[in-house]
Amino acid sequence: MPKFVYDFTEGNKDLKDLLGGKGANLAEMTNLGLPVPPGFTITTEACRHYLEHATLPDGLEGEVNGHLAALEKRMGKRLGDPADPLLVSVRSGAKFSMPGMMETVLNVGLTDESVHGLAEQAGDERFAWDSYRRLIQMFGKTVLDVDGDLFEDAIEEAKEAKGTKDDADLDAGDFRALVDRFKAIVAEQAGRAFPTDPREQMDLAVKAVFDSWNAPRAILYRRQERIPVDLGTAVNVCSMVFGNMGLDSGTGVAFTRDPATGQQGVYGDYLQNAQGEDVVAGIRNTVPLTELERIDKGSYDRFLEIMETLENHYLDMCDIEFTIERGKLWMLQTRVGKRTAAAAFRIACQLLDQGLIDADEAVRRVTGAQLAQLMFPRFDESRLGDARRVTKGMNASPGAAVGKAVFSSEAAVRAAENGEDVILVRRETNPDDLSGMVAAKGVLTSRGGKTSHAAVVARGMGKTCVCGAEELDVDVKAGRFTAPGGLVVEEGEVISIDGTSGAVYLGEVPVEDSPVVQYFEGRLRAGDGDELVEAVHRVMRHADDRAALKVRANADNPEDSARARRFGARGIGLCRTEHMFLGDRRQLVEKLILAEGEEERTAALDALEPLQRGDFEGIFEAMDGLPVTIRLIDPPLHEFLPDLTELSVKVALAGDGADPQDRRLLEAVRRLHEQNPMLGLRGVRLGLVIPGLFAMQVRAIADAAARRRRDGGDPRPEIMIPLVGAVQELEATRDEAREVLAEVARSTGVDVPALIGTMIELPRAALTAGQIAEAAEFFSFGTNDLTQTTWGFSRDDVEAAFFSRYLELGIFGVSPFETLDREGVGRLVRIAAEEGRATRPGLKLGICGEHGGDPDSVHFCHEVGLDYVSCSPFRIPVARLEAGRAAI
Ligand code: ADP
Ligand code: MG
Ligand code: MG
C-alpha cells in the first residue's frame, strides 16, 4: 500500500508531485534546519483517490492517527485539549502554486472548551476569542460553504456598535460575542452545528481541501495557466504559531528580490498583531518589511540570514510567508517566486554573474512566453495628447493596457464578450474576481502591495496590473473612482494603465515599441546601458549557440522579410503566394478563371507573371544568401472571386441589362462553388487542373532569382507544392516545374538551383512519406491543415463553437491549433520524418504551421529532429529562445 502521509522531516523539495509545492518546500526548509512549525503532509495521491472514488483511501486514517500522535508527542500537547490545546492549520498545496485558489483553515482544534485553555496558556483572552472566531469563520466559509460576507457583515456591525473602524478596538468580549454570532450563522446557513470535536474539524477540513480542487475558480485558474486537471492537491497539517498574540507578534510576506525588477533587497509587507491572510487580503494597512528592523531587530536580522540561506540553497529568487510569535520567527512557506518577465531575465543574469548558476541554467530560467511579454508595446509619454496622468500606483505586472473602466467582474466579462477592451478597477481583488481579471486588458487596484492578490494573479497571467494606487478612491457600488484634485472617472470612461511604471492615465495614451523590440530591430544596442536589454542579449546569444533548430519566418513581402531577418530569421520557411493575387490583381485572376481557350488563359497568366516576379525579387533581396521557401498557390480559386450571393443579387436586379461579364463571372462562381472548400479544389489539385498556373509561378520565381543573381545577389529559392496526398501528384508538378526551371536557365543563361519539395499537411502524405520523399527534396509540415485534417476539425468553425467545452471536459488541455497535439498530429509528423529520411537521408525538414512560434511545439520539433521551425516575424525571438532551451 502506498504511503499517504509524510512528516515534514521526511519530504524534500523534489517531491512536489506527491507533496505539492507547499509541502515539499516545508519539508525542505525543515531539513535545512530553519524554524518551521512541525507538521505532516497528506499526499496528492490520497487526494486523487478521494476525488475519483468519493471516499478516502484505506489506510489513510491509520496513517493520519500515527502522524498526529507523533506531532502531539513532539509538541507536548493534544489536539484541542481543553487545558492546553494543540492547534493546527489545514492547508492546501498543489504541485503548481495556485494563489488564493485553494482553501486553508487556521486554528483547527479550538472548541468551546479549548478556547479557555488557549486563553490561559497565552495569558490573553482577546487573542483566544479572536482565534476562535477566525476558525469558525474560515471553517464556515470553506468547509461548510457559508457565504463569507455574512461573517464580515457581523464584524462590521460589531465595530459600528463600538463606534470604531479598526479590528484592533474590538476586545475579548466583542470577539466572544462574535463567536456566538458566527456559530448561529453556521447553524442557520449550513443546517448543522459547528463541529465541537477537534478531530472532526480536522478531518472535515482535509476533505474540504481535497474538494476545493474542483471549485469553479480553481478550474478556471488551471485552465488559464494550463495546469492539468488531474493532479489533485496535497494537504498540509501544520502546528499553529500565532502572529495575533500582541504587538510583539505579526505576520508577513517577502521576496528575496524585487519580483518586478529583479533588484536584490528586502521586499515585502509586514503586519503587527495579525494572523495569516490579513496581509494578503489588505484588510489593514501593512508596513514595508524594512520597518521590521525598527519593530523587532532580532527577528529582522534572523530573517535576512534566512533569506540568504534560501537563495543560496534554491539558487533562485524565493518568496516567503512568515510569522513572528512573541519575538520568535517562524517560516510558514517558501517557493521559487513568481516574477515578471523582466525580472526573470535580470535575475538569471545576476545569478550567472554571482556564479550561482551557469549559462545553460540561465537560459533555462527564462521562457519564450516571458520574452513575448517583453516585446509588448508600452506607452509613449511624450505623446499624451488629451490624455492626462492622474496618479501612480505600484508597477505590479508590466505592459500597457487601455480600456474602459469597469468596476465588477461581471461588467468586465460582459464587456469583453461584446469585444470591448476594459480595465477592471477594484479596491482590491479576491479570488471571485478571477473571471473579470481574465476578461480585462488590465487590472487597477487602490489597495494592496506587490504581494496582493491582484498583483500575484496578474503576474501569473501576464496581465498588466497597477496595484495600490492609494490616491484613488474607488467606489465600486457607484461605479466610479475619484482621483486627486477631485477628478471623477465614471464606469465606461477610457483609462490607460502602465504596469511597468505604475502610471494611471485618463484617456487613451499611444503606445511605442518596447526596448526589447528596439533591440531586436537594431535600434538599441546591448551595452547602451539598458540592463534588461543587456540581459536579453546575453541570454539570446547563448540560446542561439546551443540551438539545433534553425528559425525561419513566415513572410510574403519584402518588408516582413527584412524585419524577420533583423529579428534573427535564418530564411523564410513559408512565403505564401496567394496574397500576391489580391487587391488590384484580383481582376487578372478573374480573367484567368473566366478564360475561354488557351489564348485568353495565356494572356491572363502573362499579365500576372511580372507582378509575381517583382514580389519575389524584393524578398530574395531581403533574404540574400538565405533559403526562401515559396509555396505555390494554395487556396481554392473562388476565394478570389466576388461573393456568390452579392453577385447573384446584382445580376438579378440588373435583369436583361446585366453586364455580360458579370453573367460569365456568376456562372464561374457557381461552377466553382464548393460545399467544403477546405477539402475541395485547392493546392496541388489546382496546379494539375488549371494548365499553366503553377508553371507561371515557377517561371516568376526562376526569373526573379536569375535577375537577382545577375545583380550580384545570392538567391536561394525553394519551391513548395501544397496539399500533396500522393507521390504521383508531386511527381507530375515537379516534372513540370523542372522543365520551367531548365527553360529559364536556358533563356537567361543563369542557372539558379532551386529545391523542389512539398508540404506534409494531409494524413495520407504523412503515412506515405517514404514514397513522397522519392520526389521531394524537402518536407515542410503544414501543421495547421494537418491538425484540421487529422482531427477532422474545421478550425474556423470549431474554435468558437465548442472548444471551451472541450477544454472544460479536459478532452484537451490546450487547443491543438495553439500547441501541437503530440500524440495524434505529432505521431504523424514523427512517422513522416522517419520514413522520409529513410528514403532520402538528409531530407530537409521544417514546420511552417503557426505552431512554429509556440514554445511547447518548438520543443517537440527539436525532439523529432526537424531542421527548422518557421513562424511569424514577431515570434522569431521567442522561437530562437525556445530552440536554445530545447537543446539544453
Ligand atoms: P495560501 O496557499 O493561500 O498561501 P496558506 O496555506 O499558505 O495558503 O495559508 C494561508 C495563510 O495562513 C498564510 O498567510 C499562512 O502563512 C498562514 N498560515 C498557515 N499555516 C499557519 C500556521 N500553522 N501558523 C500560522 N499561520 C499559518
Ligand atoms: Mg501561503
Ligand atoms: Mg495548408
In this structure, which residue's CA is closest to atom 12 in ligand 1? 276
Highest mean pLDDT among 187-196, 261-270, 446-455: 187-196
- C-alpha 622 – ligand 2 centre gap (Å): 53
What are the Cα distances from residue 516, in Å, to 341, 527, 879? 12, 13, 15
Three cell numbers, residue 737? 516545374
How many CB atoms lie under 10 A from the CB of residue 471?
16
Reported as a single tens digit per residue, the pLDDT across 429-482 is 887 888 899 899 999 999 887 777 888 788 767 789 999 999 999 999 999 999
Cα-only R_g, the chain: 33
- 665 pLDDT band, cuts 50/70/90, is confident
At 593-626, the pLDDT tens digits run: 888 888 999 999 999 999 999 999 999 999 999 9
SS3 assignment for 238-303: EECCCCCCCCCCEEEEEEEECCCCCCEEEEEEEEECCCCCHHHHCCCCCEEHHHHHHHCHHHHHHH
Q: Where in the chain is the domain with CATH 3.30.1490.20?
A: 5-239
What's the pLDDT tens digit per position in 53-71?
999 999 999 999 999 999 9
Distance 678 CA to ligand 3 centre (A): 9
Ligand 1 atom with the shortest distance to the CA of 243: 25
Q: Tell me yes or no: is domain 5-239 CATH 3.30.1490.20.
A: yes
Tell me, in angstroms, the distance from the centre of ligand 2 to residue 100's CA.
Answer: 8
Whether the Cβ atoms of residue 379 and residue 496 lie closer than 8 Å to each other: yes
274 CB under 6 A from ligand 1? no
pLDDT given at position 283: 61
As a whole-number percent, the residues of the chain with pLDDT over 70 amount to 98
Q: How far apart are CA 853 and CA 799, in angstroms?
A: 19
| Cα 328 to Cα 677: distance, rounded to the nearest angstrom | 72
Q: How far is the CA of 636 from the centre of ligand 3 (A)?
A: 11
Q: Report which residue type is found at 340.
A: T
49 has catalytic annotation: no
Residue tagged 521590521 (cell numbers): 292
pLDDT of residue 329: 98
Q: 238: Cβ below 6 Å to ligand 1?
A: yes
Q: How confident is the model at residue 286 (pLDDT cuts 50, 70, 90)?
A: confident
199 close to 187: Cβ distance less than 8 angstroms: no
Predicted local distance difference test score (pLDDT) of residue 260: 80
Does residue 323 line the site of ligand 1, with CB under 6 A?
yes
Q: Which ligand number lies closest to the CA of residue 109?
A: 1
pLDDT at 459: 74
- pLDDT for res 131: 95
Give the ipTM: 0.96
User: How sure is the predictor about 847, in pLDDT bands with cuts at 50, 70 and 90?
Assistant: very high
Residue 456 and residue 436: Cα distance in Å, rounded? 15
Does position 24 have pLDDT exceeding 90, yes or no?
yes
Q: Is the pLDDT of residue 243 over 80?
A: yes
pLDDT on residue 733 = 97
Q: Give the residue-averaged pLDDT of 190-195.
A: 96
Tell me, in angstroms, the distance from the centre of ligand 2 to residue 768's CA.
Answer: 54
Minimum-distance ligand to the CA of 762? 3
| Every domain range in the chain assigned CATH 3.50.30.10 | 376-512
734 vs 729: CA distance, rounded Å = 9
- Where exactly does CATH 3.30.470.20 map onto the chain? 250-336
Whether 584 shows a pLDDT value over 90: the answer reads no
Class of domain 250-336: alpha beta
Ligand 1 near 332 CB (within 6 A): yes
pTM, entire model? 0.80
Closest ligand 1 atom, residue 100 Cα: 3
Q: What is the Cα–Cα distance from 505 to 402, expressed in whole angstroms?
A: 9
Domain with CATH 3.20.20.60 in the chain: 547-633+699-887
Task: Check residue 218 and give its pLDDT.
Answer: 84
CATH domain 547-633+699-887 topology: TIM Barrel (3.20.20)
Pocket test for ligand 1, best of 134, 277, 430, 453 (most atoms within 8 A of CB): 277
The CATH T-level fold of domain 376-512 is Glucose Oxidase; domain 1 (3.50.30)
Query: Looking at residue 829, what is its pLDDT?
Result: 98
Q: What is the whole-number distance in angstroms between the Cα of residue 281 and the centre of ligand 1? A: 12
Between CA 225 and CA 322 the distance in angstroms is: 27
- For ligand 1, is residue 321 a contact (CB within 6 Å)? yes
> Taking residues 413-421, what's their average pLDDT?
92
- Residue 276 above 60 pLDDT? yes
122/128 Cα distance (integer angstroms): 8
Q: Which three cell numbers stand for residue 621?
A: 533581396
pLDDT mean over 259-287? 81
Return the ligand number nearest the Cα of 782.
3
The verdict on the CB of residue 395 being under 6 Å from ligand 1 is no
pLDDT above 90 as % of the chain: 75
608 CB near ligand 1 (under 6 Å): no
pLDDT of residue 588: 86
**Per-residue model confidence (pLDDT) at position 520:** 95
- pLDDT (0 to 100) of residue 850: 84
Catalytic residue among 467, 848, 861, 871: 848
Q: Is the CB of 276 under 6 A from ligand 1?
A: yes
| The length of the chain, given as a count of residues | 888
Ligand nearest to the CA of 142: 1
- 318 labelled catalytic: no
| CA dist., res. 93 & res. 101, Å (int) | 10
**Ligand 1 atom closest to Cα of 98?**
2
pLDDT per residue as tens digits for the range 300-344:
999 999 999 999 999 999 999 999 999 999 999 999 998 889 999
**pLDDT at residue 100 is higher than 60:** no
Average the pLDDT over 136-145 and give the result.
94
pLDDT at 655 over 90: no
**Does residue 101 register a pLDDT over 70?**
no
End-to-end CA distance of the chain: 38
